[in-house]
Amino acid sequence: MSDKFLTSHTPVTLIRAGTIQPMIKEAEKAKWLTCSQFFGTMPNHRYIVAKDADHRVWEKIPQLVIEEVVNLYQQVGRK
């Protein structure tokens, strides 16, 4: 997959954990957040912040992840 690119033609949902991981250095947090938000708000993309969740969003808020996967399947199925 390293040679594949996600464009605005590909439906994408970026679910970001509300709790920023400690591996993201303090000096890099703002840049990382801006980059994540920009990617998630491109045309045909969605950006969601999973409040009160850490890196394992799928364990903390599984319903959110399930709903977004269903949403993406529905988008792809309409094309």
Q: What angle do CA 5, 15, 51 make, to 5 degrees?
A: 160
| Whole-angstrom distance, CA of residue 76 vs CA of residue 3 | 22
pTM, to two decimals:
0.78
Question: What residues contact residue 70 under an 8 Å CB cut-off, 6+ apart?
Answer: none
Q: What is the pLDDT of residue 53?
A: 92
Per-residue pLDDT of the chain (79 residues; tens, 9 = 90+): 578 777 778 889 999 999 888 888 988 999 989 998 998 888 999 999 999 898 899 999 999 999 999 999 998 877 6
Q: What is the pLDDT of residue 5?
A: 78
Contact by Cβ (8 Å): 20, 57? no
Q: What is the pLDDT of residue 1?
A: 58
Instruction: Give burial (CB, 10 Å; 0-12/13-18/19+) of 49.
Output: middle
